[in-house]
Structure 1
Amino acid sequence: MKLKQVFFLILFQFVVISFLAQETTATHSGISLISTKKTFIVGDKITLEFLVKNDSLIQLYCANSYGATVLTPKVIAKKNTFKIPSFMSKKRGVLSWSIINSSEEISGNISILSQQQPTTIETYVGPPSIDAGGLDYTMLVVIPTDSLDNPILDHSKVDVKYQFLKSEKSQPILTDKLIGYKNIFSPKKSGRMIISSESYGLNSKEFDVNIMPAIATNFKLFASRNHEYADGNQITTFYTSIIKDKNRNIVSDGSYIEFYITNKKGDILKTTGTTINGVAHAKIIHPDFEEVWKVKAYFIGISESNAITIKYKKVIEDYTVSFTAHNRSIKVGPLKSFMKQIIPDGLSVKLSIYKNNTLTKELFKESLNGFATFYLDPNIFENNLYKIVIETAGIKKEFKSFKLW
């Protein structure tokens, strides 16, 4: 029984000592925070009130992401009231404060939240052009902001709207870390996609994204010509089939196609064309002698065509060469075409002059009215024996021991 009384006595003394200790702390604490509200909306008028038991003048240090300042209170009957300046209260985030000019350490934080109703929507879309097929995508970034240019609260709903061809879709997203974003993948068809966004009844402006055809697939090559004779005058036209990607989208107009031509000697000629409605055309003049061409087209680094072979027939079977003025005036012709008509002007004729089996000079002329005329100037070609070789339309004629005087 005595033991039980001793136990209750000790317990009572412990409670009394704890109560007295609390009273002493409260008595010695000269500054106490009266304000209880810790969460505000941007634009609210924010005040902090403190009860100061002694007559000391305190100041309040405030800091947020905009900067820091020291405030002096308005004092009425030991109640110190601090008014937070508007440049701090209109910025969302955490506002930290602490009492200075006091031996006590008193500090705290205030949460300032953005307004939930946005007044503007900052929207960014890029890239502006993507490839069709579902692998490429553009990104939409949305930042709804309130009247004080603060991004609205995280997890706020934003509706992403986009229209393509006959399809219209709307998908909701939630803002996170101040922004909302969505990757919009390309459809299989090419065309133009229109994108916009909406948040709490506020709509953004319209954005365009071009859905471009993807990488082209292989295609076919064709050729057309008026006739198959090598007259050096007519034109052969090469053209492709409609060039498309794997999703059957026609490649963009202006795509650059190169046509490579390999002749019998292995030499390579090249002509080019650009696509219109998926088809590329290129033209090249006929050779002026019998020839066989192997032609192939390339969408460089992307795709290619099949190879085709084109044969050109000899247009001139023979021609005459006449010499006058001590053999110094050489007239080649008449040059007649496949219907015995005079060949069109411009056929190349080459005259090679050899002395002692060494090539001395090569002269070139183009036919005019079916003839090509050369004159061997005596100031250049002295009186002597030469070998003359004349070549045109793939036909070569040699005149050995040719005397000039």
Structure 2
Amino acid sequence: MQLKHTYLFLLGLILLSSFAVMKQNETANKIELLTIQSDYEVGETIVLKFSASKINKPLLYCSNSYGSTLIAASTENDTLVYNIPENITKKIGVVNWTLLHDAVSLSGHFNINPKAEVASIETYIGPPSIEAGGTDYTMLVVIPSDSLDNPVPTNTSVNAKFQFLASEEKEDMFTKNLIAYKKIHSKKESGRMLVSSESLGINSKEFTINVSAAIPTDFTISATRPHAYADGNQITTFSTSIIRDSHKNLVSDGTFVTFFITNSEGNILKTTGTTIDGIATSKIIHPDYKDTWSIKAYVDGMSESNIISLNFKRVIEDFDIAFSDKNRTLTIGPLQSFMEQMIPDGLHVKLNIYQNNTQVQTLTKTSFNGYVTFKLKPAIYKDGDYSFSVEAAGLSKDIKTKKLW
């Protein structure tokens, strides 16, 4: 019986010793975070401290939106010290950390907040050209950042400044989601707007917005010419009235205007011009035969003009045709204009050649010194009877039968 009690006593001592050792090991392995602060200003030195352990120094795993890193510990007065590197402390955001050890499960996070200062301003604006009238707008986007290139805190004041014609305006806006922005609507007038921004004493560069005229309204056209004769030589000039938008702004220089000309045969000619100070002009050469023109102008897809008509008189009333050199040389002329002067060089004359009521060929030449000469080579035109038709300045003359030999 005594032996049994002794055995139980020894067994109890062994169990108590084992429990005490386990408690001692648990206390030795326990690590706790000693650092209380969880919010820091960007660029500030950040140190995390933990209670020391008799085990090997575990690595600290840190992760933010820019990447991850492992930090080795140092010991100071029975304390584990982890110095957070600058590549993490110089970027705002949340930093998550985890202590890496099989026997320890410890993690947490701290916040790095932006500084309330502005070192530089990035400014974006677009589109650079908008339409007058108050409906179109451009967007101003301002991104203030601190000396470490981090966005400034939310609700940081940004002052936008505008100069247009005789007016100067200012308007406050505030950062949100890293940026400050504003819609800049056009005025009723056209012109050039200057835009800049300022935040906490730092100013952006100057930006320019072109406020151009809105869609042009309908306009009128006119024509000027030296005379009304169809000489194929002089120039007719078409001009528009001053083209404006609905707010009376001059359309932008370079606005494209197309003049469509419909002649008496239904054919369409076209000439174009661009505006300068709201007026577009274009030129076209006179026809070389009697004709009537109907002219209308368009700013493509936007506005149109009235219709004007021009009549061109026949410049040549008659001309002679002379045959020579075995009827193989035809001389047409003199071609005299409306004052009986020789027609300017370059008038087109057409010779149609027929044989046996069938057109053989058409020859075209231009006048020189008031005459046109056609030579019919024997190698091409064999001896025989031919008929001819001569067309010049809208006139036509027929020669029934001529023998070539």
TM-score, scaled to structure 2: 0.89
1:220 alignment partner in structure 2: 220
Report deviation, 1:126.
1.5
Deviation at 1:29?
9.1
Distance (whole Å) between structure 1 residues aligned to residue 363 and residue 55 of structure 2 = 117
- Note the C-alpha offset of 1:28: 9.8
**1:131-280 pair list within 5 angstroms:** 131-280=131-280
Matches within 5 A, 1:245-394: 245-394=245-394
Contact 1:30-1:54 at 8 Å conserved across structures: no
For 1:114 and 1:340, the matched residues in 2 are separated by 92
Query: Aligned partners of 1:71, 1:351: CA distance in 2, in Å?
Result: 100
Amino acid at match of 1:212: S
Whole-Å separation in 2 of the counterparts to 1:341 and 1:319: 13
The CA deviation at 1:55 is: 5.5
Q: Give SS of 2:87's match.
A: helix
User: Counterpart of 1:178 in 2: which secondary structure?
Assistant: coil
Query: In the aligned structure 1, how far is the partner of 2:372 from the partner of 2:39?
Result: 101
Structure 2 distance, partners of 1:55, 1:342, is: 119
Distance 1:404 1:32, change over 3 A: same
Counting matched residue pairs gives 380
Equivalent residues of 1:55, 1:78 under 8 A apart: no
Q: For each residue in 1:122-161, what CA deviation from the matched residue of structure 2 results, as whole angstroms up to 9, or x when unmatched?
A: 1111122222222222111111111111101111111111
In the TM superposition, what is the alpha-carbon distance from 1:53 to its structure 2 partner?
6.4
Distance change >3 Å, CA 173–CA 378, structure 1 → 2 = same
SS at match of 2:229: coil
Greater alpha carbon shift after TM alignment, 193-202 vs 320-329: 320-329
Any conservation in 1 of the 2:28–2:54 contact (CA below 8 Å)? no
Any conservation in 1 of the 2:117–2:200 contact (CA below 8 Å)?
yes
* Per-residue CA distance 1:43-102 (angstroms, 9 max, x = gap): 111112222465563432221122222223222332222211111111111111222226
Report if aligned partners of 2:52, 2:80 keep a CA contact under 8 Å in 1.
Answer: yes
The alpha carbon displacement at 1:196 in A equals: 0.9
Q: Distance in 2 between matches of 1:59 and 1:53?
A: 13
Note the 1:14-33 alignment, pairs <5 A: 30-33=30-33
Match of 1:287, SS? coil
1:92 aligns with 92
Matching residue's letter, 1:100: L
Residue identity matched to 1:244: R
Q: Which amino acid aligns with 1:92?
A: I
Question: How far apart are 1:121 and its partner, in Å?
Answer: 0.6
Q: Counterparts of 2:89 and 2:46 in 1: how far apart (Å)?
A: 7
Secondary structure of the residue aligned to 1:33 is coil
* Rounded Cα–Cα distance in structure 2 between residues aligned with 1:331 and 1:304: 48
Secondary structure, aligned partner of 2:88: helix
Specify the alignment match of 2:13 in structure 1: none
Counterpart of 1:16 in structure 2 is none
For residues 346 and 279 of structure 1, the distance between their equivalents in structure 2, rounded to whole angstroms, comes to 32
Counterpart position of 1:399: 399
- Aligned residue for 2:121? 121
Which residue identity lines up with residue 267 of structure 1 in the other structure? N
Distance in 2 (CA, whole Å) between partners of 1:178 and 1:329 is 90
Q: Structure 1: which 5+ residue stretches go unaligned?
A: 1-25
Partner of 2:110: 110
Match of 1:391, SS?
A: strand
Q: Which residue of 1 aligns with 2:7?
A: none
1:335-394: per-residue Cα shift (whole Å, max 9, x none)?
222122222222221111111111111122222222222222222222211111111111
Say whether the 8 Å CA contact 1:334–1:370 is kept in structure 2: yes
- In the alignment, what sits opposite 2:17? none
Residue aligned with 2:105, SS:
coil
Structure 1 counterpart of 2:47, one-letter code: T
Q: CA deviation at 1:397?
A: 0.9
* Residues in 2 aligned to 1:293 and 1:100: alpha-carbon distance in whole angstroms: 93
User: CA separation in 2, counterparts of 1:149 and 1:204?
Assistant: 16
Partner residue of 1:21?
A: none
User: Bigger shift: 82-91 or 369-378?
Assistant: 369-378
CA RMSD of aligned residues (A): 1.9
Q: 1:28 and 1:53, CA in 2 relative to 1: closer, same or farther beyond 3 A?
A: closer
CA–CA distance in structure 1, aligned partners of residues 101 and 77 of structure 2: 19
